[in-house]
Structure 1
Amino acid sequence: MVSENVTIQHEVGLHARPAALFVQTAQKFASKITASYNGKTVNAKSILGLLSLGALTGAEITIQAEGEDSNDALTSLCNLVNTNFKE
């Protein structure tokens, strides 16, 4: 299992559009992927799960991936967040 902390920089946090991009990216990988914030862990392939985190601008979330492509999954998702969801 690999994990990394990233900070949400999007001006309105992890709302519908960034969450949808995150889920679309996560679903490309076979690994089990979770996101954690403020003591809550959710399936990162679920848009409702991600939205339920309530991660606002400046929130630090932890992304974890476990599986054969976990390193690639983690790299892709961290890059997505760190590039402000390419918006």
Structure 2
Amino acid sequence: MVTKEMVVEAKSGLKSKPAALFIQKACDYKSSIWIEREERKANAKSMLGLLSLSIGTGARISIIAEGEDEEAAVEELAEYINSL
């Protein structure tokens, strides 16, 4: 299992369109991928789950992946969030 903690700097956070693109990237991996914010955790491949976390600007999140391509998944998804 690989975990990366980060702060979302994007002005719009991880809402609608950025969330949809995040999910597309997450679905490219075989690993189970989760996003954790505060005490809540959601499947990173689920729009409903991701939006339920209300990830706005300045939110502290953890990207968690477990599986055969876990390291690559966490790195690419973290880079995507940093690029927003």
TM-score, normalized by length of structure 1? 0.92
User: 5 Å matches for 1:1-87?
Assistant: 1-84=1-84
Residues matched between the structures, number: 84
Cα root mean square deviation, aligned: 0.7
Greater than 3 Å deviation, 4+ residue runs: none
The structural deviation recorded for 1:6 is 1.7
Query: Could you tell me how far apart the structure 2 residues matched to 1:83 and 1:12 are?
Result: 12
Q: Secondary structure at the match of 1:25?
A: helix
| TM-score, length of structure 2 as denominator length | 0.96
Identity of aligned residues (%): 43
Task: Quote the Cα distance in structure 1 between the aligned partners of 2:38 and 2:26.
Answer: 21
- Look up the SS of the partner of 1:74 in the other structure: helix
**1:18-62 Cα distance to aligned partner (Å, 9 max, x none):** 110110000000000000002100000001111000111010110
Give unpaired runs (5+ residues) of structure 2.
none
Query: Secondary structure, in 3 states, of the residue corresponding to 1:55?
Result: coil
Letter in 2 for 1:74: V
